[in-house]
C-alpha cells in the first residue's frame, strides 16, 4: 500500500476493524453526558484541568483515565474498582449487540468530522498496516499498560486516519447514511463541540466495511503511546485473545481533513533569561513587541524559511531562528532523510535540548508537553520556566516520513479534533 492507503498489487493483510459491545454511560444515571466526558488523558492540563473535570460530575471518565492516589499501583487499582462499581451500579452499561460506532464532531464554526469507532487488529510495524510517526516514552507506555491491565479495558480510543480517495464506497455510505438517522447520544461539551454517536450492527453492512478497509493502511494521528501499549499487552497474551485488538477512531481524511497543531514544551527550572543566554552565537534571537497571536504569526513566517521557535515566560515573546549551520551539522543525526533532519522538532530535541540547554526530553521533572498555547505560557510565567512554542508541521510531511518508516521526535504533532473520552469504552473481559 502507498502512503495514501491505496491497495498494492501484492496481497497484504490490511486494516481489520472489528465490531464490539460498547460500554456507555446511562444518561439517566449521570448529570449530563457532557459532564462525564474528558479530553484524552494526555491533553488534560493537570492539575487545573483534572480538578475541573473531577468536579464536573462524580462519574467523569477522568477518574478512570487519570486516577489519583499515592502510588501508581494504588491509582490503577482505584481505577479498576471504580470501573467495576460503575458497571455494577449501572452507571456504565454494555450495548446489547456488537457493532461499529459512527462518531461525529462539529464545532461552532461549522467544522465537521465523522469516522468509525471499532476494535482494530494490533499489527506489527513490519506489516505497515498502522503507521506511527512519532517516538514514544517508555515510562508512559508502561504507565498506560499497567492501567489497562488493572481495568481490563480500553478506556478511550486513539485516532487513526486513512485516505479513502473514493476507494471505500461502502465505508463512506455507512458513515454518511448513518449520520442521517437519530443518534444513540448527542451532547455538546463546554469547548463548543457537538458530539453524536450511532451504533451499526447489521452483519452484511459490517462485512462489506471490513472487506473494504482490509485494502487500506492507517496513520496514527493521535495516540502513539496507547498504540505502543496495545502492542505490549498483545505480546503478553497468547492469541487469540481480546488483547489482539485495540479501540480506535478511524477517519477518512480525504473526506474529513484533520487540523494539525503543534505541541509546545515547558522547560521546568530554566528561566527565560538563562535559556536565551545559552543561545548566544548559536541562533538569532529577537524580542517581539507583539501580543501572543501576532507573535505566533511572526513565528509562522519565520518557520517557512527555516527552523524557528518562540520562547516565552518572562512577559514577552522571543523569536529564535537562523541556527548556526555548523551547530546543526555537529548535533543533528545524519542517518535520517532530509525531511526529518530539518524538522523543528528534530532541531529542538537534538540540538537545543540535548546540546544547548542540556534538558532531558523524557523526564517529567524537566519538561512538560502541552497542547494549549495559552496554558503553556501561563505555566511558564507562573513557575519561572521557559515556554518553547512550536509551529505545526504539514500533514504531508508526516505521512511521507511514516511511509518510509521514519518516526519523528516524541510529541511532534497534534492532530485534531481528538475524540472525546467517555462516549464509548471497550472491555476485555474474555
* 379-388 pLDDT tens trace: 999 999 999 9
Opening angle at CA 248, ends 243 and 250, nearest 5: 140
Q: State the average pLDDT over residues 242-260.
A: 94
Lowest mean pLDDT among 31-45, 72-86, 149-163: 31-45
Query: Is residue 125 within 8 Å of residue 185, measured between CB atoms?
Result: no
Residue 400: its H or E element: helix 395-403
pLDDT score recorded for residue 344 = 96
Nearest to 216 by CA among 267, 259, 167, 264: 167
pLDDT score recorded for residue 411 = 85
Q: Beta strands 317-321 and 194-200: pairing type?
A: unpaired
pLDDT score recorded for residue 53 = 85
pLDDT score recorded for residue 12 = 63
Q: State the average pLDDT over residues 24-41.
A: 94
Cα gap 429→113, rounded to integer Å: 31
Cα gap 182→115, rounded to integer Å: 16
Lowest mean pLDDT among 43-52, 153-162, 223-232: 43-52
pLDDT score recorded for residue 368 = 93
Sheet harboring 308-312: ordered strands across?
284-288, 317-321, 308-312, 386-389, 264-267, 367-370
Cα gap 178→161, rounded to integer Å: 19
Q: What is the pLDDT of residues 98-139, one digit of tens each?
A: 999 999 999 998 899 999 999 999 999 989 999 998 888 899
Rg (CA), the chain: 22
Q: Mean pLDDT over all residues of the chain?
A: 92
% of the chain with per-residue pLDDT over 70: 97
Nearest to 272 by CA among 318, 315, 314, 317: 314
pLDDT score recorded for residue 403 = 84
DSSP string, 194-242: EEEEEEE--HHHHHHHHHHHTT--EEEEE-HHHHHHHHHHHHHSPSSSG
Q: State the average pLDDT over residues 246-269.
A: 94
Q: What is the pLDDT of residues 159-209, one digit of tens each?
A: 999 989 887 899 999 999 999 999 999 999 988 999 999 999 999 999 999
Using CA atoms, how far residue 34 sits from 108, 167, 195, 424, in Å, is 16, 35, 9, 13
Residue 407: its H or E element: none
Q: What is the pLDDT of residues 52-100, one digit of tens each?
A: 888 889 999 999 999 999 999 999 999 999 999 999 999 999 999 999 9
Using CA atoms, how far residue 25 sits from 14, 151, 159, 396, in Å, is 32, 17, 21, 37
Query: End-to-end distance of the chain based on CA atoms, in angstroms?
Result: 33
Q: Using 50, 70 and 90 to split pLDDT, how confident is the model at 255? A: very high
Cα gap 102→92, rounded to integer Å: 19
Q: What is the pLDDT of residues 356-380, one digit of tens each?
A: 999 998 888 999 999 899 999 999 9
Query: Is residue 301 within 8 Å of residue 319, measured between CB atoms?
Result: no
Main-chain dihedrals φ then ψ at residue 157, nearest 5 degrees: -80, 145
pLDDT score recorded for residue 6 = 42
Alpha helices in 10-164 (DSSP H): 33-36, 48-56, 62-65, 72-89, 138-151
Q: Which three cell numbers stand for residue 182?
A: 437519530
Cα gap 87→23, rounded to integer Å: 9
* Residues pairing with 251 in the sheet: 161
Opening angle at CA 180, ends 176 and 181, nearest 5: 125
On the question of pLDDT at 156 being above 50, the answer is yes
On the question of pLDDT at 352 being above 50, the answer is yes
Amino acid at each position: 500500500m502507498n502512503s495514501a492507503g491505496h491497495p498494492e498489487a501484492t496481497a497484504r493483510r490490511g486494516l481489520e476493524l472489528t465490531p464490539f459491545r460498547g460500554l456507555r454511560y446511562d444518561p439517566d444515571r449521570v448529570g449530563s453526558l457532557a459532564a462525564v466526558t474528558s479530553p484524552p488523558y494526555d491533553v488534560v492540563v493537570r492539575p487545573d484541568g483534572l480538578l475541573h473535570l473531577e468536579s464536573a460530575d462524580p462519574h467523569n471518565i477522568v477518574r478512570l483515565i487519570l486516577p489519583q492516589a499515592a502510588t501508581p499501583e494504588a491509582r490503577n487499582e482505584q481505577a479498576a474498582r471504580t470501573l467495576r462499581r460503575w458497571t455494577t451500579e449501572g452507571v456504565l452499561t454494555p450495548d446489547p449487540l456488537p457493532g461499529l460506532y459512527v462518531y461525529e464532531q462539529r464545532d461552532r464554526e461549522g467544522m465537521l468530522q465523522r469516522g468509525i469507532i471499532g476494535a482494530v487488529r494490533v499489527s506489527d510495524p513490519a506489516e505497515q498496516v498502522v503507521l506511527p510517526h512519532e517516538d514514544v516514552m517508555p515510562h508512559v507506555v508502561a504507565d498506560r499498560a499497567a492501567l489497562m491491565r488493572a481495568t481490563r479495558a480500553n478506556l478511550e480510543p486513539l485516532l487513526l486516519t486513512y485516505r479513502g480517495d473514493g476507494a471505500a464506497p461502502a465505508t463512506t455510505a455507512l458513515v454518511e447514511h448513518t449520520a442521517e438517522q437519530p443518534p444513540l447520544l448527542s451532547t455538546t461539551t463546554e469547548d463548543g463541540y457537538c458530539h453524536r454517536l450511532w451504533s451499526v450492527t447489521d452483519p452484511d453492512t459490517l462485512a462489506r466495511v471490513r472487506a473494504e478497509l482490509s485494502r487500506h493502511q492507517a496513520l496514527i494521528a493521535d495516540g502513539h503511546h496507547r498504540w505502543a501499549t496495545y502492542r505490549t499487552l498483545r505480546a503478553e497474551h497468547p492469541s487469540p485473545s481480546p488483547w489482539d485488538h485495540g479501540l480506535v477512531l478511524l477517519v477518512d481524511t480525504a473526506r474529513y481533513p484533520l487540523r494539525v497543531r503543534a505541541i509546545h514544551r515547558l522547560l521546568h527550572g530554566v528561566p527565560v533569561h538563562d535559556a536565551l543566554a545559552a543561545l548566544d552565537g548559536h541562533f538569532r534571537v529577537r524580542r517581539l513587541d507583539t501580543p501572543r497571536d501576532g507573535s505566533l504569526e511572526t513565528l509562522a513566517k519565520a518557520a517557512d524559511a527555516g527552523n524557528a521557535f518562540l520562547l516565552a515566560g518572562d512577559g514577552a515573546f522571543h523569536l529564535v531562528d537562523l541556527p548556526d549551520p555548523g551547530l546543526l551539522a555537529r548535533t543533528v543525526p545524519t542517518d535520517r532523510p532530509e525531511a526529518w533532519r530539518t524538522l523543528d522538532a528534530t532541531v529542538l530535541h537534538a540540538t537545543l535540548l540535548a546540546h544547548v540547554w542540556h534538558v532531558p526530553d523524557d523526564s517529567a521533572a524537566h519538561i512538560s508537553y502541552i497542547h494549549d498555547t495559552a496554558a503553556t505560557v501561563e505555566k511558564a510565567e507562573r513557575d519561572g520556566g521557559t515556554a518553547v512554542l512550536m509551529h505545526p508541521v504539514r500533514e504531508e510531511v508526516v505521512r511521507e516520513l511514516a511511509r518510509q518508516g521514519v518516526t519523528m521526535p516524541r510529541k511532534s504533532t497534534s492532530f485534531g479534533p481528538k475524540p472525546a473520552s467517555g462516549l464509548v469504552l471497550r472491555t476485555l473481559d474474555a
